[in-house]
Amino acid sequence: MPEIPVQFPGQQVFDRARAFFETSDFNEAHFNRLRSEWKQAGFTIKPGALAPKPDSRAHMLTLLFNDAAISESDFVELGNRQALDDLKELGMVVCSPAGVLTSTVRTRPFRGLYVICDHEPPNRQFADDFVFPPDDTNTFNYLRYVAFSPCEAFLEACGGSGIAALIAASRCAERSWSSDLAERSTVFARFSAALSGLSNFTAVRGDTYEPVQDRVFDRIAVHPPYVPVLRHSFIFHGGGLDGEQITRKHITDLHGRLKPGGRLYCRCGATDRKGAPLEMRIRQWLGEHESEYDIALQVLGYVEPWRFLMKSVRTGRTRPEELAEWGNVLEELQLETLLMCVFVVQRHEEKRTPFTVRREEGPYSGPKELDWLLEIETARSRQGVEHVLSSRLKVNPTVTLSMVNSAKQGEWELRSQFAEVVHPHPLKMELDPLSAFLLPGLNGQSTGRELFHSLVEQGAISPDDPQEAIRNFATGLLEMASSGLIFVEGLEPPAPVRNESRNDL
Ligand SMILES: C[S@@+](CC[C@H](N)C(=O)[O-])C[C@H]1O[C@@H](n2cnc3c(N)ncnc32)[C@H](O)[C@@H]1O
């Protein structure tokens, strides 16, 4: 394992380095623009290769912290000697050979912060404790789902660079922690906080929640290692045979870590097993306290296990002779499919019935739809049928209805009716004839109770037991509301936006 290169001189050195970065326009916009120009021009940095004299300080810093070498005299001419001394004292820059500067860590202006991580090693020969980049595609995706709304205490478990905890510290949390098994990640996260001038951030080291002891949090974010592996691989990568080992531990040990109303957000790869879909197993992992928690799972995509293994063979991660062993593992685990997902575990604020819900992502689904799902299910669990009986209801304007008819005695006979939506989540639901009749007329003017009474008045239904009938009627409305076929006043889903044009962070 390479030595940890960064140092912790006084905070004034960090502050001067940050001020130098800021006055040099070494910021996210500039960084992204340069990187996209390089990509368009087909320019790639050869690690350690001396770059020609850059035309600006921002350009110089972007090159230097993306693994190019810069001549010391160019640095001093474009920047200044004090700044160079500071970066050397911080251990971010070394001079070797004489007169040539290289960076020891990749430094990335990101979300108003300066975040360090490891440079990608040649041929992707990662060290076991490689510090994961904050702008990796998977991390970008994870960050989209984490709620960065005001809270007292935020924890990023499996923190790596500590990016979610750093963002939380700078934007919304009174106090934020990042925790990681690896010493290197912990030191890097602490360094990024000091470099970004954050004084409400703590980086701790240890397994799962062990280093945060008995602290409780409003929010926990986890992006664990989740790749199924036969044997130990890099700490940031392997999640045991089923990929779930680290995720599971963060759920089995969760009780006592979340405040009432607190939420854990996890993005990971996981599995559906025969007769045991992921969300049911997450509930089991919660153990004896499971009834105090809700679970909402949004599936980002499915991967057929053998497809995953073949890809892994092609990329050299799995040896062909290991496939037989994998066959046994899949059989033993009763594994049906691998999936990528985001799930939220929410601790109850009051005693009520827990919910477990699963939806798939479509072209118009994302973090906002997951939030909406949590809100509507929480309201349903709190208020029961009253949730729809006392609220005005409106049909989802994008719903379609299809009918299946079969030939019977020379005529078409209606067999079934299916309502379908793509937003908030893609979903197809069989409707009973009364719901299908009712659906298009829901114009937001009437509550569930008023609809029921008007159906009785019209003679469309004539219940023997009105109390039971209105409960059954409301239960059907609740199902349609949770599926997004109808909107409940005050709890409408967000407006549909195509996935790729979103910027939720
Ligand atoms: C996929 S990286 C995610 C890093 C960062 N949160 C991100 O999204 O970029 C997973 C991190 O989990 C850490 N890790 C692995 N096993 C752990 C455990 N048992 N307890 C705490 N951290 C662990 C690794 O060191 C690594 O930094």
State whether the beta carbon of 225 lies less than 6 angstroms from ligand 1.
yes
Query: In angstroms, what is the span from residue 93 Cα to ligand 1's centroid?
Result: 26
- CA nearest ligand 1 atom 26, residue: 236
State whether the beta carbon of 110 lies less than 6 angstroms from ligand 1.
no
**Residue 311 belongs to some domain of the structure:** yes
Specify whether 436 is located in the same domain as 472: yes
CA–CA gap between residue 155 and residue 209 (Å, rounded)? 10
Specify whether 190 is located in the same domain as 289: yes
Specify whether 133 is located in the same domain as 24: no
**Residue 319 belongs to some domain of the structure:** yes
Q: pLDDT-derived band of residue 367, with 50, 70 and 90 as boundaries?
A: very high
Specify whether 204 is located in the same domain as 284: yes
Specify whether 398 is located in the same domain as 291: no
Specify whether 360 is located in the same domain as 438: no
Q: C-alpha 64: how far from its chain's center? A: 30
- Of the three residues 341, 360, 384, the one that is the final residue of a domain is 384
State whether the beta carbon of 132 lies less than 6 angstroms from ligand 1.
yes
- Of the three residues 384, 408, 430, the one that is the final residue of a domain is 384
Atom of ligand 1 nearest to the CA of 178: 6
Q: Is the dihedral of CA 179, 185, 187, 191 positive or negative?
A: negative
Structure confidence by residue, pLDDT tens digits, 164-191:
999 999 999 999 999 999 999 999 999 9
Specify whether 245 is located in the same domain as 362: yes
CA–CA gap between residue 75 and residue 360 (Å, rounded)? 51
Specify whether 43 is located in the same domain as 83: yes
For residues 443-452, average pLDDT: 96
Specify whether 179 is located in the same domain as 289: yes
Q: pLDDT-derived band of residue 233, with 50, 70 and 90 as boundaries?
A: confident
The pTM score is 0.95
Determine the 3-state secondary structure of 403 from DSSP.
Answer: strand
Specify whether 59 is located in the same domain as 200: no
Q: pLDDT-derived band of residue 91, with 50, 70 and 90 as boundaries?
A: very high
CA–CA gap between residue 281 and residue 271 (Å, rounded)? 10
Structure confidence by residue, pLDDT tens digits, 321-359:
999 999 999 999 999 999 999 999 999 999 999 999 999
Beta carbons within 8 Å of 22's beta carbon, 6+ residues apart: none
**Residue 474 belongs to some domain of the structure:** yes
**Residue 114 belongs to some domain of the structure:** no
Q: What is the pLDDT of residue 505?
A: 42
**Residue 291 belongs to some domain of the structure:** yes
- Of the three residues 109, 141, 166, the one that is the final residue of a domain is 109
Query: In angstroms, what is the span from residue 207 Cα to ligand 1's centroid?
Result: 10
**Residue 357 belongs to some domain of the structure:** yes
CA–CA gap between residue 285 and residue 321 (Å, rounded)? 33
Q: What is the DSSP string of 230-256?
A: SS---TTTB--TTS-HHHHHHHHT-TT
CATH code (residue 279): 3.40.50.150
Is the pLDDT at 122 greater than 90? The verdict is no
Specify whether 252 is located in the same domain as 266: yes
State whether the beta carbon of 238 lies less than 6 angstroms from ligand 1.
no
State whether the beta carbon of 158 lies less than 6 angstroms from ligand 1.
yes
State whether the beta carbon of 318 lies less than 6 angstroms from ligand 1.
no
Query: In angstroms, what is the span from residue 253 Cα to ligand 1's centroid?
Result: 16
Q: How many domains does the chain have?
A: 3
For residues 25-48, average pLDDT: 91
Beta carbons within 8 Å of 57's beta carbon, 6+ residues apart: 24, 25, 26, 78, 79
Residue ranges making up the domain that contains 263: 128-384
- CA nearest ligand 1 atom 13, residue: 158
**Residue 343 belongs to some domain of the structure:** yes
State whether the beta carbon of 211 lies less than 6 angstroms from ligand 1.
no
Specify whether 331 is located in the same domain as 302: yes
